[in-house]
Amino acid sequence: MHSTRAVTTIFAAALTAGVLAACGNGAGAGSAPTAEQTAAAAADNSGLVIYSGRNEKLVGPLLGKLEQAVGAPVQVRYGDTAAMAAQILEEGDNSPADLFFGQDAGALGALAKQNRLAALDAQTTGQVIDGYADENNLWVATSARARVIAYNPATAPEIANATSIDVVLEPKYKGGKIGYAPTNASWQSFVTALRVTKGEDGARDWLTKFKAQEPRAYERNGGVLEGVESGEVDLGLINHYYWYAKVAEEGDAVKSKIRFLDSEDPGALINVAGVGVVAGTDQSEAANKAVNFLLSKEAQTYFADETAEYPVIEGVTSKHDLPDLSTLKKPAIDLNDLDSLPQTLELLGQVGLT
């Protein structure tokens, strides 16, 4: 197992190399807080400080309701999920962060592995669907999303029947015809799923073949989808909710389609966004209230309707015509196994997909 110093070093090296570039996961700000911001936050212990790797445009309206829910002032720092996790590791016991709101299970698991998250009450984690909380109650999912292939039905009609992510390695898609977001946390978790299912050598081989396809890199999943829409690429690797949100906004004007692989292939990964209380916080009560608010029916309905994600508690439905989460086939991966994010970043750097 990597030591805390080693993990932090790998994260920092990734940051320096630009793996976690600005807006990498579509966050409102693409980097972690500056030293000046950290010092200022540390000096102000009057309220709850959240490090959020989630897009401010997506979750800002919801987090704006937290002050009333927790009964304390709330500061939210937006940035890249992995960059925020790295910041918490680097700050150690001096971190001003009280709550970490991450885009994927990998970053949450990496913090849990390094003892940077405090245990949640079992009643809190027990609210969610089985499999959507850390086995040691160190983090809990707030919403779920499926990896899908967005495609142009005119140029890539065969994607409609695809069941494996290997379809993107076919010769016809070579030469800038595939879109992906290399600094996106969900892409990184997909690569971790590749490592878990195919082994290190198998994942390296797949990524090497993918790089040989000369895929087109975008800053965000939304950019990937726009690339498919405009015909710049034939297909793109994204999360499902970007497409549903676009359809809700533009209706029949949307040209692209999406394919749920609906199989045990790593390309069918169902990942989560989630939260964890930072170990050592002096705002434990407020932080735990915030966690429970994000699992409330109000917040879960927001995720279901406003961001087109899957709710993680029973009894909440979506206005979007989503396939039932319980019916989707997915790889047999425990979300806790996605915690080797630093090793994934290292592999991506070695292969040259940063």
- Which residues are part of a known binding site for Fe cation? 241-242
Q: In this structure, what DSSP letter does residue 129 have?
A: P
CA distance 228 to 134: 35
Contact 282, 185 (CB under 8 A): no
Find, among 319, 315, 323, the residue nearest to 305 by Cα.
319
Cite the annotated binding site by residue number: 241-242
CA distance 37 to 207: 37
Contact 193, 331 (CB under 8 A): yes
Q: Which two tokens stand for residue 325?
A: 């989460």
**Count of residues for the chain?**
354
User: Cα–chain-centroid distance for residue 336?
Assistant: 14
CA distance 99 to 284: 9
